[in-house]
Chains A and B, each alone.
Chain A
Amino acid sequence: MNLTLASFLYLIAAVAFIVGLKRLQSPVTARRGNQLAALGMLIAIVVTLLVTDIISPWIVVAGLVVGGGIGGFLAQKVEMTAMPQLVAAFNGFGGGASALVAAAEFLSVDSLPLRTDITIVLSTVIGAVTLSGSFVAFGKLQGLISGQPVGYPGQKLGDPLVAVIIVGLSIWVVLGGSALVLWILVLMAMILGVIRVLPIGGADMPVVISFLNAFSGLAASMAGFVIESNALIISGALVGASGLILTNIMVKAMNRSLGNVLFGAFGAAAMEGGPGAIGEKPVRAATADDVAVTLAYAGSVIVVPGYGLAVAQAQHNLKELTNLLEERGVEVRYAIHPVAGRMPGHMNVLLAEADVEYDKLYDLDQIQDDFPRTDVALIVGANDVVNPGARDDETSPIYGMPILDVDKATTAIVIKRSLSPGFAGIDNPLFYMDNTLMYFADAKRAMTDLVAAVKEA
């Protein structure tokens, strides 16, 4: 195939990626957008196979078959709750592939121009950090590694030392270092990925996988500089931008800074209040029948789902409950906090799986003003995102974090197993308010009992 024609076809692939992403701006066009991007990818792959002199076709075929098999299998089998770790793993593979491409380019040619050496080093380092960091994130999300921050003695000196070694080795490679130096560089970059992600707590993983997403895009872009491919540079830049935007949204929703998530441990302040302060104040406990009556005779209900709902696998039961309420003429909407799940937009996917129509799901900004006009806010498996302390109490460790104003509804019903504080260990003043009903139960059990009780009501 003619190289100019190939360049135009690569351009068409890049345009397909951009238009595909643009169609993700609405749920109506999103699916076709993703398919268009996939078509663009197919074009890029076919063109590459046609223009490249392939002297070892079996290696290419074996890689495609093995990779396609594993990728396809994982995509079909994964539970929607496990989506964050799957995306983390895919990020890792993408970063790893970019690092390998750059390393192989370095090994295949004896002397490279300076600019190629620089981009090879960047691509290898960013790709290797993405690879190891993503798999640590995967391990934490999958529960293979402790979700608690894990450090090592002397980390404050050790981390900068590893970073300095990486910079030194990078310069060495650019100035003519051998393949061995490059491999040591890869190893050090992978160590950096591990020691930087291990100390980050499980609750901060949404930020980490968004950030690593940006990194995998950047690595692809750098690989594009190495092999002089505009299609790669463009696609990598798109993904880098996407990852950075999502990182920024997550960080804002948690009221943190990126530096604070990546380099500071959370929870030191939260411990000072001590667990002794929790559970001593009176609460209004309610039974399934109380809650069912309150819901059944309400005019409007806003459901605030949290990750606890998904952990209990109670989304389908919740859907059944809201169907019953809607049959009785109750207006039901859902309020989704940006950090309701374990990755950006995760809760929307979990509810879509349970057949909840997406036009009933509202973002924080869209629904916040409606709470004062709502009869019941039903909180299932959420805690910190409805903690009024974040809004009112300057001494609260999460002060300033945007929350859903559920306490402004006429009645707030909290379904929770006990009064124990959430992941961050912070007490929630919502539980002790006069207009709050506490319904102590496991989310799934609560939903099935409520379905039965609403039928009776």
Chain B
Amino acid sequence: MADLVIPITVFVLAAFIGFEVITKVPPQLHTPLMSGSNAISGVTIIGALVVAGAGDTTTASILGFLAVAFATINVVGGFLVTDRMLEMFHSKKEKP
């Protein structure tokens, strides 16, 4: 179990950074925050790519394909829809 120490350390420190950064996001941006962070959680795509690329059996190929497709929906959809929302936010000064 000793080799779990470093990954757990990384996890805990990252969680603290997350709390610090995200507590300061104003409520008016909470929906884009949620969809944007959702897209970031799609980073599981890097695991999916490894799995899919190694597809030597039929089962592994199916799992790999589904994993990549699911994660890509999450990543592409999440970033695009967040961008679409944030594009709509305007202040008085920016108005033409």
Q: Using a CB–CB distance below 8 Å, which chain A residues touch chain B?
A: 13-14, 17-18, 20-22, 24-28, 30-31, 33-35, 37-38, 41, 44-45, 48-49, 52-57, 59-60, 62-64, 66-68, 70-72, 74-76, 78, 80, 83, 86-87, 90-91, 93-94, 96-98, 100-101, 103-105, 107-108, 114-115, 209-210, 213, 216-217, 219-221, 223-243, 245-246, 249, 336, 338, 341, 343-346, 348-349, 352-353, 355, 357-361, 363
**Further contacts, 17 of them, CB under 8 A, given A37-B79, A97-B66, A105-B51:** A26-B26, A31-B83, A48-B50, A49-B49, A56-B56, A59-B64, A68-B76, A71-B72, A83-B31, A83-B81, A97-B70, A98-B44, A115-B4, A216-B38, A231-B46, A239-B38, A346-B31
**Contact of A71 with B80 in the complex, beta carbons under 8 Å:** yes
Instruction: Give the total number of A-B pairs whose CB atoms are below 8 A apart.
Output: 390
**Contact of A241 with B15 in the complex, beta carbons under 8 Å:** yes
The A interface, classified by DSSP as helix, strand, loop or mixed, is helix
B3 neighbours in A (Cβ, 8 Å): 115
- Bound form: Cα–Cα A229–B55 in Å: 20
A220 neighbours in B (Cβ, 8 Å): 41-44
The B interface, classified by DSSP as helix, strand, loop or mixed, is helix
**Contact of B41 with A216 in the complex, beta carbons under 8 Å:** yes
**Contact of A37 with B70 in the complex, beta carbons under 8 Å:** no
Q: Using a CB-CB cutoff of 8 Å, which residues 28-45 of chain B contact chain A?
A: 28-45
- Bound form: Cα–Cα A224–B43 in Å: 10
Q: Tell me the minimal C-beta distance from A339 to chain B in angstroms.
A: 11
Q: Tell me the minimal C-beta distance from A181 to chain B in angstroms.
A: 15
**Contact of B67 with A101 in the complex, beta carbons under 8 Å:** yes
**Contact of B43 with A231 in the complex, beta carbons under 8 Å:** yes
**Contact of A246 with B34 in the complex, beta carbons under 8 Å:** yes
Q: Tell me the minimal C-beta distance from A383 to chain B in angstroms.
A: 20
A346 neighbours in B (Cβ, 8 Å): 31
**Contact of B38 with A358 in the complex, beta carbons under 8 Å:** no
**Contact of B49 with A52 in the complex, beta carbons under 8 Å:** yes
- Bound form: Cα–Cα A346–B29 in Å: 9
Q: Tell me the minimal C-beta distance from B76 to chain A in angstroms.
A: 4
**Contact of A70 with B73 in the complex, beta carbons under 8 Å:** yes
- Bound form: Cα–Cα A233–B10 in Å: 7
**Contact of A27 with B91 in the complex, beta carbons under 8 Å:** yes
**Contact of A100 with B63 in the complex, beta carbons under 8 Å:** yes
